[in-house]
Structure 1
Amino acid sequence: MREFLRLDNKLTLKLKIKPVSPLNIKLGADTKNVVALLTTESSSETKIDVEKGDIIQDRRVGEIYIPGSTLKGLFKNRFIIMNGGEKKKEEDPAIKNLFGYSEDDNSLKGRIFLQDAYFADEKLRKEIYENVRELKEFIKTRAITPIDHFTGKVKDPLKFEYTVEEFLTEIIVNNVTLDELQKLFFIVRDSKLGEIRIGNSKTRGFGEIAFEIEELRFDNYIGKNSFFEPLKQYFTRDIDNSIKIGNKYLCESMVLQKEYKNIDVENKSEVKEPNNFIKALFKEVK
């Protein structure tokens, strides 16, 4: 396994996750067909008492969250599709190099890291942990009556738990390439086109999300990464997080300017022109 990675750059991308349809994060293990959302704290005690499909007592604590592993799986799958499809999943060196792998005695640590996603509203998170507001305030339920595809008969109703709260996650990519940065923007665009779903019961209308860029930071080390130079004009230098010796920067931390964060997409009523940063980012596409 490679033990040392020379850091030429680091991309930090903070994304807001906005549910377009109800977000069902985890299927419950109980026998009453109730779906249990993942929470940040666990207990050996039974957390939920269910009677006839309804929650009569809820002892879950912490906050709802989306695991980073769920998001990493989503992004990896989208990268696989953009790199030629599922058939190349195991052999594509670009996917292995970015997401890492472990095969027998060979392994490679990935360069991309996706954090667990928590409520985007920091004030809301504080209130939850101070027990001002209970978790059940952010959980809704929906009942669905499935049809048996073989008999055509109605099955017992299923009751799902879901949330429509917004979440915030952070993606870190060490030594990001131009191609990888472009693909990340494609994924954000695809989410705005209604092509991205996460969680469970996606076939029942759950899990459609849209990404919004909260912050994009590019840390450039020792003047590397020539692909970034044409993009630099759309960033603002963060002096407090940059490292400078004399007149030279050992690490120049650049933050994408606010007016270039939005990714507009076409719709039936109008065609929106990409902003200048997007045009510059994809100028080298062949």
Structure 2
Amino acid sequence: MEQNRMVKKIMLYVQVRFLSPLNVSSGEDEWTDADLLRDGNGNVFVPGSSLAGAMRAYIRKEKNEPCLLGYTKKEKNGQDTGKMSALFISDLTFDEQPLSGVRDGVELTAQKTTKTESKYDMEILEAGSRAHFFLELTVREQDNEAEMQQEIAKIFHGIKEGEIRLGGKKTRGFGKFEILSVAEKEYTKENYADYANAYQNDAWRGAKNQLKEWLEKADWTPSMVHIEVPLRMKGGISIRRYAAKKGEPDYVHLTRPALPTDENGNKAKKTEIPVLSGSSLAGAIRHRMETIIGELKKAGVNFPKNSTDMIHTIFGYVDGDQACASNIIVHEVDIKGAKPLTMVRTGVSRFESAVRKGSLYTEKTYVDGTLNVRIDVRKGNDPQDEAWILGMLLLVLKDLQNGLLAVGGQTAIGRGIFSANGPITIDGECSVENSLIGNLLKNMSENGGGEA
């Protein structure tokens, strides 16, 4: 058997910061319906297998396809072939005790009423947590080292652009992180003894940040179309956080703690920032899209597939053993410049037009403010799918921009309504949405036929 000796190991020490909440569930439900994963000492961590899975999904390699992360394949003769992963990925551990919190959720009907027994909560790590992990690349005599490094560089690009995320609810804004630095060391037969300290954090103090050099190793193209919609709030917004703190109003709009440091690394002021959650926005977009599809269907427009399959293709689904991941990522976004407003309200009986007994409550909402909604559309193997998904989304986003689609609760009293605060941009290009929508409707009329 031909030998394939190891030539060297390349170690990378990757420091990251989370830009949105993280939920990596342990499967336990002692404190919430989905507690965070912790080690024996109670420290939260992200398993290396989760990192590897996210990376493999990003480079679109199945477990039976040759790639940097190894593969196994059953041949026609029944024999198993494969190759072990050339890349070892450590667990992701946090540099200091991260701030945890609880997020609530509830499933709504089309009429915005709660479904029975659909309330849930989950433990999360708040944005701003700093962490690190190690990548260990083993290079052998028959390996193409340049090609292997290019795959790692593409992964770094994916993290940088928010296309690789970790944990649960990542298509609804969770798990986004950025790379702060990448330090590199090589170990060969000349310095193999130094490898004993490779996984000691102190061994990397003062190491040069080589992130820029690594990003330059690969010609990278985005795997997603990036849509941005600048908006201004016309009134208040109400996405309630039910696990309110002691001394707070009964209902408080969803907020997150400010990041510990600003973009320049300076210590930031401790404050709460109101946010528009990805799950709330995705729910509103889905409901409006179902309405638009129904209206277009009545108008005689032909679709590439039936309406249920269209919704499932865009937003994903789980039905018993069958499941499909969402083809869009709806980001969680900060609402900037918003002013807090606390009100005392009383519930009124619709039938009697009188105050309901024991219905006095206080609520904290936020008014004014601007935000930049971002939605990413996954590029697939079928350009036609990408085109109609993009076109349908733009139809809904135009409604959002024109104040015709409200998000969150209490929309009947004017909450969650927005106006345009700038043009929609698609991959950085402005004012192209109308032509894309026009092409969508034209193509559906000419080439449709899945459902009339």
Normalising by the smaller structure, the TM-score range is 0.5 to 0.7
Query: Which residue of the partner structure matches residue 112 of structure 1?
Result: 87
Task: Tell me which residue corresponds to 1:250.
Answer: none
Q: CA deviation at 1:178?
A: 0.9
1:21 to partner: Cα distance: 0.5
Higher relative contact order (Cα pairs below 8 Å, separated by 6+ residues):
1
Unaligned runs of 5+ in 2: 196-205, 220-452
Structure 1 stretches of at least 4 aligned residues deviating more than 6 Å after TM superposition: none
Match of 2:210 in 1: 261
Give the secondary-structure state (helix, strand or coil) at the position aligned to 1:145.
Answer: strand
What runs of 5+ residues in structure 1 fail to find an aligned partner?
Answer: 42-60, 81-85, 125-136, 223-237, 243-255, 264-274
Q: 1:144: how far off? A: 2.4
Instruction: Count how many residue pairs are aligned between Structure 1 and Structure 2.
Output: 198
Q: Which amino acid aligns with 1:113?
A: F
What does the per-residue CA deviation read over 1:229-250, in whole Å, with 9 as the maximum and x for residues that have no partner? xxxxxxxxx89849xxxxxxxx
Structure 1 position 92 matched with structure 2 position 65: yes
Q: TM-score, normalised by structure 2?
A: 0.38
Which of 121, 125, 148 matches 1:159? 121
For the pair 1:101 / 2:72, whether they are aligned, the reply is yes
Contact 1:16 1:120 in 2 (8 A): no
Deviation at 1:189, TM superposition (A): 2.1
Structure 1 or 2, whichever has the larger Rg, is: 2
In structure 1, C-alpha distance between the alignment counterparts of 2:124 and 2:2, rounded to whole Å: 41
Contact 2:103 2:123 in 1 (8 A): yes
Instruction: Tell me the CA shift for residue 105 of structure 1.
Output: 4.2
Displacement of 1:6 in angstroms is 1.1
Q: What is aligned with 1:232?
A: none
Aligned to 1:201: 169
Secondary structure of 1:75's counterpart equals: helix
SS of the aligned residue for 1:213 comes to strand
In 2, the alpha carbon distance for the partners of 1:202 and 1:214 equals: 24
When the two structures are superposed, what TM-score results if normalisation uses the length of structure 1?
0.57
AA paired with 2:158? Answer: D
Closer, same or farther in 2 for the Cα pair 1:32/1:65, shift >3 Å? Answer: closer
Structure 2 distance, partners of 1:166, 1:257, is 18
How far is 1:220 from its partner? 4.8
- Cα deviation, residue 262, structure 1: 3.6
Counterpart CA distance in 2 for 1:4 and 1:159 is: 54
Match of 2:133 in 1: 169
> Could you tell me whether the CA contact under 8 Å between 1:101 and 1:110 is conserved in 2?
no
Distance of 2:188 and 2:192 partners within structure 1? 13
- Cα separation, 2, equivalents of 1:91 and 1:177: 21
Say whether the 8 Å CA contact 1:34–1:159 is kept in structure 2. Answer: yes
